[in-house]
Amino acid sequence: MMPLEKEADGSHGEVLVTVRPRTAQLKKLTGRSWGLGEQQLRTVANGYVRGALEYAAAAWLPAASPSHVELIDRELRAAARAVTGCTASTPVHALMSEAGMTDAWSRRQALAARMVGLAASLPEGDPLRSVGEAVVPRRLKTTGWREVGAAALAAADARDIPVEARLHHTLPPWADNSTVHFHLDLGPRARPLGNITGTARDVQRDDVVAALAAGYAAHKSRVAPSPPRR
């Protein structure tokens, strides 16, 4: 996605052309006698309007310029006013809280902090972890997820909290997986192949029922009364 300064003739201009008609359609669904309820309007706003604004936001929103983020917030506030019916003079924090929507600035910091945590949880030598731990001189005023995420963690007093390593490691497509084996047999007591719905739990349940039946039969044979003597 291109910087905001080029939004008039680039991708951001196309996004605005797509989003603003959606916001207008959302406003038409707010009729008192036949329109949607507040919860339904909130769902439509988050999926129909916000989905177009923040498409693939994790890739570009942490590195977006302040003017670009303000542009997104402006459209989100328009959708929030349609959901809540608040006027234009309503304070921003009260408006977004009433609408149950997160502003783009908070979303930007959350995405960047999550990326920083993801990079820190990767094993040593991973390219993403190397990028996250690198210290490079700043050339532009607009920073990326590394700086924005570090600032967000510092503001939350969570920068010094250790990050746990990932419990599983994803194997790349070119890795040798010859050591992975799949065992589909359940032994000699497995169900026939024709019974597709049978599972290992069904086999275990049948074994328990058979053992109970055998025990009951043995107990009944021991306590059976002897025939009368003649």
**DSSP letters along the chain, please?**
---GGGGGGSHHHHHHHHHHHHHHHHHHT--TTTS--HHHHHHHIIIIIHHHHTTTHHHHGGG--HHHHHHHHHHHHHHHHHHH---TTS-HHHHHHHHT---HHHHHHHHHHHHHHHHHHSPTT-HHHHHHH------SSS--HHHHHHHHHHHTT-TTSPPPPPSS-PPPTTS--TT--------TTPPPTT-TT--HHHHHHHHHHHHHHHHHHHHHHHHPPPPPP-
Q: What is the pTM of this model?
A: 0.63
Q: Could you tell me which residue, 47 or 13, shows the higher pLDDT?
A: 47
Q: Mean pLDDT, to the nearest integer, of 217-229?
A: 66
Nearest of 105, 93, 113, 106 to residue 157 by alpha carbon: 113
Is the Cα torsion angle 86, 92, 95, 100 positive or negative in sign?
A: positive
d(CA 115, CA 149): 7
- Check whether 86 has a pLDDT greater than 80: yes
Residue with the larger pLDDT of the pair 24 and 215: 24
**Dist CA 182 CA 61 (whole Å):** 42
Q: How far lies 38's CA from each of 35, 47, 82, in Å?
A: 9, 14, 10
Q: Give the mean pLDDT of 217-230.
A: 65
pLDDT tens readout for residues 66-82: 888 999 999 999 999 99
Token readout for 176 is 């040798």
Residue 1 has pLDDT above 60, yes or no: no
CA distance 69 to 64: 7
What are the distances in angstroms from CA 16 to CA 68, 94, 114?
12, 25, 27
pLDDT given for residue 115 in this prediction:
93
pLDDT digits (tens, 9 = 90+) for 148-207: 999 999 999 888 888 888 877 677 777 777 777 776 665 555 555 445 455 667 777 778
How does pLDDT run across 89-141, given as a tens digit for each residue?
999 999 999 998 999 999 999 999 999 999 999 888 888 889 888 887 877 77
What is the average pLDDT across 38-65? 89
| Res 80: pLDDT | 93
Rounded CA-CA distance 21/84 in Å is 18
